[in-house]
Amino acid sequence: MKKLINEPEDVVDEMLEGMVAAHPEYVRRLEGTNVLVRADAPVEGMVGIVSGGGSGHEPTHAGYLGEGMLTGAAAGEVFTSPTADQLQGMIAACEGGAGVLCVVKNYEGDVMNFETAIELAELEGETDVEYVVVDDDVAVEDSLYTSGRRGVCGTILVHKIAGAAAARGDDLSEVKRLAEKVVDGVGTMGMALTSCTTPEKGEPTFDLPDDEIELGIGIHGEPGVERTDVMGADAVAEHLTERVLEDLDLAEGARVATIVNGMGATPLMELYVVNRRVQELLDERGFDVGECWVGDYMTSLDMAGCSVTVLELDEELEELLGAPADTPALTVRGD
């Protein structure tokens, strides 16, 4: 497997150096850590919005640092959550006097390390820290017998809306309420055409023959919940969208936002082809689409494939989603 890397163990460090060099006006690195924060963090009087997780999902997480989105982003090793001490350092660096909201994806490692970090932060001082756990992946069941649904691309919408609420001066409990509203109203389903290859292992995480695809993947190169024969883009779009709509159970005529997200190695051409059918379907079903995003938002290294995310909008969520954001990976001009 060919990769444009040096030593696998240096990948995260060298990626972060490159990011800071590319976007010094947006981000700076907390010395001796794998945490990037907004260049002007902490922002006085503003609730800090922090996130983090394994590397390999770029532009998630640090790509969303900046006005109207994240204040801090911690990068773990590839597909491994950041450690609790780094998360604690990030929380402290993003506390501008109004408290900090942690946006956590529902993976045990992420949840456990954030919980440990919050315990440590509370021991240290008065920092007011809350967290929300995003679990938008409709491919896996939310039951007593599994670890719950995974957090995937819908997390970006939580970053956007919580970030916009913090930017306009909402307090911590209000920012948390809005973030939880997004978590409740968002669903995602993904699929893979190929496995990804982690730098450490150097070969595909799972075997996927040329004539088969995986449905219901997460974002860590794990196989999906079901393997089927190759389908065309329309059939994939229908399968993913229908599974998400089934889960969200929206009222007729509901207004929604959508993301057709690339997993890292799928050309925009193909994502637009998928998006075409997603939008047709929503239109056929009588849904009204507000924001419609297409691109690589939350990737899985070099995996080919896509995910479809649908968020139910109401007036307050739509206003926050459309509010200005200025980050390396996402710019929203606002009205």
Partner 1 sequence: MDEGIQREALVATLAAIADRIESEKDHLTDLDSAIGDADHGANLHRGFQAALDGADPDDDPAAFVKAAGMALLSKVGGASGPLYGGSLAVASSEFEEGITTESSVAFAEAYLEKVKDRGGASVGDKTMVDALTPAVHTYKRAIEVDDLDPLAALSKAVDATERGVRFTTPIRASKGRASYLGWRSVGHPDPGATSTLYLLEEIHDVAAEYLDGEAATVVDAAAETEAEEGSGVEE
Residue 214 or 312 having the CB closest to partner 1: 214
Based on the shown chain and the rule CB under 8 A, indicate whether residue 51 belongs to the binding site for partner 1. no
Residue 8 or 295 having the CB closest to partner 1: 8
Residue 279 or 299 having the CB closest to partner 1: 299
**Which own/partner pairs from 73-77 qualify as long-range (CB within 8 Å, at least 24 positions apart)?**
73/35, 73/36, 73/37, 74/33, 74/34, 74/35, 74/50, 75/12, 75/15, 75/16, 75/34, 75/35, 75/36, 76/12, 76/34, 76/52, 76/109, 77/12
171-180 per-residue burial string, b: 16 or more CB within 10 A, e: under 16: ebeebbebbb
Known catalytic residue at 239? no
Cis-peptide, bond into residue 61, ω within 30° of zero? yes
Residues 6 or more apart whose CB falls under 8 angstroms from that of 111 comprise 104, 133
Cβ at position 55, least distance to partner 1 in Å? 10
> Binding marks (x or -) toward partner 1, 200..239, rule CB under 8 A?
xx---xx-----------x-xxxx-x--------------
Based on the shown chain and the rule CB under 8 A, indicate whether residue 142 belongs to the binding site for partner 1. no
Based on the shown chain and the rule CB under 8 A, indicate whether residue 274 belongs to the binding site for partner 1. no
Sign of CA pseudo-dihedral 177, 71, 81, 215: positive
Which residues make beta-bridge pairs with 78?
55
Residue 86 or 241 having the CB closest to partner 1: 86
Based on the shown chain and the rule CB under 8 A, indicate whether residue 72 belongs to the binding site for partner 1. no
Q: How many CB atoms lie within 10 A of CB 169?
A: 12
Cβ at position 206, least distance to partner 1 in Å? 7
Residue 65 or 78 having the CB closest to partner 1: 78
Read off the tokens for 98. 């109004």
Q: Which of 10, 14, 25, 108 binds partner 1 (CB under 8 A)?
A: 108
Q: Which of 76, 99, 151, 190 binds partner 1 (CB under 8 A)?
A: 76
Based on the shown chain and the rule CB under 8 A, indicate whether residue 1 belongs to the binding site for partner 1. no
106-144 per-residue burial string, b: 16 or more CB within 10 A, e: under 16: bbebbbebbeebbebbeeeeebbbbbbbbbbbbbbeeee
Looking at 61, 159, 220, 239, which residue is catalytic? Answer: 220
Cβ at position 270, least distance to partner 1 in Å? 25
Question: Residue type for 42, please?
Answer: P
Candidates 39-47, 107-115, 164-172, 175-183; binding stretch for partner 1 (CB under 8 A): 107-115
Distances (CA, A) of 163 to 48, 151, 178, 202: 8, 18, 10, 36
Residue 185 or 199 having the CB closest to partner 1: 199
Based on the shown chain and the rule CB under 8 A, indicate whether residue 85 belongs to the binding site for partner 1. yes
Q: Which residues are catalytic?
A: 57, 220
Interacting residues toward partner 1 by CB under 8 A: 9, 54, 76-86, 107-109, 112-113, 115-116, 140, 145-147, 150, 198, 200-201, 205-206, 218, 220-223, 225
